[in-house]
Structure 1
Amino acid sequence: MKALVLSGGAGTRLRPITHTSAKQLVPVANKPVLFYGLEAIADAGITEVGVIVGDTAEEIQEAVGDGSRFGVKVTYIPQEKPLGLAHAVIIAREFLGEDDFVMYLGDNFIVGGITGLVDAFRTERPDAQILLTKVPNPTSFGVAELDGEGRVVGLEEKPENPKSDLALVGVYLFTPAVHEAVRAIQPSGRGELEITHAIQWLIDQQRDVRSTTISGYWKDTGNVTDMLEVNRSVLESVEAVNEGTVDESSEIIGRVRIEAGAEISRSRIIGPAVIGAGTVISDAYVGPFTSVSEGCRIEDSEIEYSIVLRGSSITGVRRVEASLIGRDVEVTPAPRNPSAHRLVLGDHSKVQISS
């Protein structure tokens, strides 16, 4: 069995971060989202991975390399334009061959991995297996309709009037039957070859399409709110480790991971939190659910429930919350506007000025 990981999207919902960085490489607890997916694939016993790349191909390749650090062998498959998930299957045909495969969206995050799902698929081998989860806003997702026995009878991509609240999670499992399906469909109204249309084609052809509804934690990390929520979830399991330097006047409370070379002085850090390698924190407060990447500086400031990327500094800022701060960013107080009172006073005036 192989894996096809999609890492070619533009990440428009995470701009301006994704103007200069691949959305799949934005870190959660100081590790890129994409890495969690590759680790889950390796844990499921899959060693051959095709990675679909687009405009950020160079950055993805530099970060992932040949895949050996994850225990897999990576083949990069360029996609000139983001023409849909089904299009990604088409261009990966040579890599996939006649093998079963799992398709994993590189910006998705699933707690607990996919090992159980992959094992069941290997045993039962339906033509397609999809993951579903209940969501409050199904119009933003591909949505599945099930019959009374729980079988998939219909799929819609971002419907205006959804027939259920069951959204497709960004993990799909296929046999080679899907290759006929992706070539049988036409582009949607947004000009993409939708994987939902391909799966619907399989359903219409009376092929065996099954679903699993998951109750565990899943997030599409395509926007800042979800990214911060995933970061919070991952930090819930962080273990307290101190590989840096903490002076006697600092206070570390709860589960805080301080990586090698980090320096903490005259500061208070409340976990769960992660402080990256070489980061300097002085006269500052770092609150729960905060990830500070490597080489950052936080001085005379307060930050909580946020993600700070590599090489950024926050100096003299009273409070930062629920923020995603990119690489090599400088956050400082706005300069004070000089204040003055201009007066034209008549004789014998009395004026009280508060200053």
Structure 2
Amino acid sequence: MKAVILAAGEGRRLRPLTESMSKGMLPVGNRPILSYGIEALKEVGVRDIVMVVGYRREKIQNYFGDGRQFGVNIEYVVQRSRLGTAHALMQAREKVDGPFLLLPGDNLFTSQGLKRLLELPEGSWGMLITESRMPSKYGVVEVEGGVLKGIREKPKISGDLRETGMPSVFSLALWEYTGSTDVLLINTGIYLLNPEIFEILERQGVEERHRLPEAIDYMVKEGYRIECIYTENWRDAVYPWDLLDLNEIVLRESGEGLEGEVGPGVSIKGRVLSQGKVEVGAYSTIEGPVVLGPGVKIMPYSYVGPYTTVGEGSTIGPYARIERSLIMNDVHIGGRSTVFCSVIASGTDIGEGVYTDATEVTIKVKDISLSKRIGAIVGEDCRIGHHTVISSGAIVGNRCSVAPLKHLTENLPDGASVR
């Protein structure tokens, strides 16, 4: 049995975080999202993987190589034009000669659902489904007696929302929240397929930007029986703030063990895991679950709270307070700064006394509203001046520069300068 992983997509709705890497390479728990899917495949005994890559593919290939380091065998095929998931799958046609699993490279899931798909009788077609209160983000599946009866795929994006980078990301999110908020069954994008799928896609014409769910729905209409397997263990990151939820899920299962120098008076509560040697300054508090990358420095009297990941080579300044945040590699957070419910991308310097507000944000358009408790989303290689306040939900693009003592209430595009 082989698996095909679709990892060619760009993830525009996750900008600014996906400018330099694909969605599957975004870190949660200090590991790429993609690595958790590979781990799940290995757990069910599927070690031969065909990975379809495209956008920023060099980062994926450099990280995973031939897969031996991860206990699997990886072959790569390139989708040079991103024409949808059906087209991406077609790129793997020559590498597949029997039944195979198909997985997205940017979802978080466990091996239990994969195991149940593999337990289906030989020659079966299968789909992993789950529940969601936001079905318009994914498309609703209609199931009868455990068999797929149809897919109502998510609607196409209207012209005014087609630009999905900043600052329209909130508008796009609202558009996706406008559907039913009932709990409905959705398609996870994880399938058990047979090689015949390639002939079906060929008949449909994959050059027309077909999405794979459209092909699956076509198969149902043609009389194919597709078994639906339910799973609770599946999550997706659609917007930057969703990474905080994925990070929390991963940290709930994280191990513990601190390696490095720990100063006097340090308080360690709950599960704290260091992935290499770290330095924890005197009288600091770390309250798990927390994951610290190699070379992390936590200066004296600081606080790192639950559901926080700090990436390799990052520094938390003295008296700083960090909680439920995802701090990527080589970030510096200045002394007496407060970072709540935020995502800070690699190479960013947060000055002393910076405050990220994290109250519940409610955005309303007519009678539709989106509420979320989030702090700041800050892109790569930014410089945020001391004692700046960043309002809840503000998205700061890559390579932005903000002078001291500012109050950021609106999103900043890449390369913006606030003086």
Q: CA deviation at 1:205?
A: 1.8
Does the CA-based 8 Å contact 2:273-2:291 persist in structure 1?
Answer: yes
Unaligned runs of 5+ residues in structure 2 are 157-178, 355-384, 388-403, 406-419
Partners of 1:291 and 1:314 in 2: how far apart?
A: 13
Q: In structure 2, what is the equivalent of residue 353 of structure 1?
A: none
Name the TM-score, length of structure 1 as normaliser: 0.88
- 1:159: how far off? 4.2
Provide the C-alpha distance between the structure 2 equivalents of 1:317 and 1:193, rounded to a whole number of angstroms.
Answer: 51
Tell me, in whole angstroms, the C-alpha distance in 1 between the residues paired with 2:250 and 2:233: 10
Gap runs ≥5 in structure 1: 339-355
The residue number in structure 2 matching 1:40 is: 40
User: Within 2, Cα distance between the matches of 1:145 and 1:259?
Assistant: 44
Which residue pairs with 2:312 in the alignment? 294
CA distance in 1 between counterparts of 2:289 and 2:63 reads 26
Asked whether the equivalents of residues 5 and 49 of structure 2 are also in contact (C-alpha less than 8 Å), the reply is yes
Secondary structure in 2 matching 1:45? coil
Distance 2:264 2:15 in 1: 40
Aligned residue runs from structure 1 range 243-282, under 5 A: 243-266=259-282, 267-282=284-299
Q: How does 1:145-294 map to 2 (within 5 A)?
A: 145-147=142-144, 149-159=145-155, 165-186=184-205, 192-214=209-231, 216-266=232-282, 267-283=284-300, 284-294=302-312
Q: Structure 1 residues 150 and 47 mapped into 2: Cα distance closer, same or farther (>3 Å)?
A: closer
Structure 1 residue 26 corresponds to structure 2 residue 26: yes
Whole-angstrom distance in 2 between the partners of 1:303 and 1:3:
39
Return the offset for 1:201. 2.0
Q: TM (normalized to structure 2)?
A: 0.75
Whole-Å Cα distance in 1 between the matches of residues 276 and 211 of structure 2? 45
Map of 1:338-349 to 2, 5 A cutoff? none
Is residue 123 of structure 2 the alignment partner of residue 125 of structure 1? Answer: yes
Superposition pairs for residues 17-166 of structure 1, below 5 Å?
A: 17-96=17-96, 98-121=97-120, 123-126=121-124, 128-147=125-144, 149-159=145-155, 165-166=184-185
Where 1:261 maps in the other structure, the secondary structure is: strand
Q: Deviations along 1:26-81, whole A, 9 cap, x unmatched?
A: 11111111111111112221122111111211111001100111222111111112
In 1, Cα distance between equivalents of 2:386 and 2:147: 62
Contact 1:105 1:171 in 2 (8 A): yes
The total of aligned residue pairs comes to 331
8 A contact 1:143–1:159 mirrored in 2: no
Paired with 1:292 and 1:21, the residues of 2 have a C-alpha distance of 19
Deviations 1:157-215 (A, max 9, x none): 20497798211113111012211221122469xx521111111222122122111122x
Is contact 2:87-2:206 (8 Å) kept? no
Task: Say which SS state the counterpart of residue 262 (structure 1) adopts.
Answer: strand
**Rounded Cα–Cα distance in structure 2 between residues aligned with 1:186 and 1:178:** 12
Task: Decide whether the 8 Å contact of 2:3 with 2:101 is kept in 1.
Answer: yes
Aligned CA RMSD, in angstroms, stands at: 2.1
Change (3 A) 1:335 1:29: closer
Structure with larger Rg: 1
**Residue 42 of structure 1 contacts residue 71 of structure 1 at CA under 8 Å; is this kept in 2?**
yes
Q: 1:335 & 1:194 partners in 2: Cα distance?
A: 47
Cα gap change, 1:278/1:335 in structure 2, threshold over 3 Å: closer, same or farther? Answer: closer
Distance 1:113 1:61, change over 3 A: farther
C-alpha distance in 2 between matches for 1:69 and 1:118: 26
Secondary structure (helix, strand or coil) at the match of 2:277 reads coil
Equivalent residue, structure 2, for 1:329: 348
Cα distance in 1 for residues equivalent to 2:75 and 2:206: 27
Distance 1:312 1:318, change over 3 A: closer
SS across alignment from 1:62: helix
The 2-side partners of 1:237 and 1:335 are apart by: 35
Are the aligned partners of 1:145 and 1:155 in contact in 2 as well (CA < 8 Å)?
A: yes
Percent of residue pairs bearing the same amino acid type? 32
Q: SS where residue 3 of structure 1 aligns? A: strand
Report the 3-state secondary structure (helix = DSSP H, G, I; strand = E; otherwise coil) of the residue aligned with 1:80.
Answer: coil
Moved over 3 A (4+): 111-115, 159-164, 333-338
Partner of 1:347: none
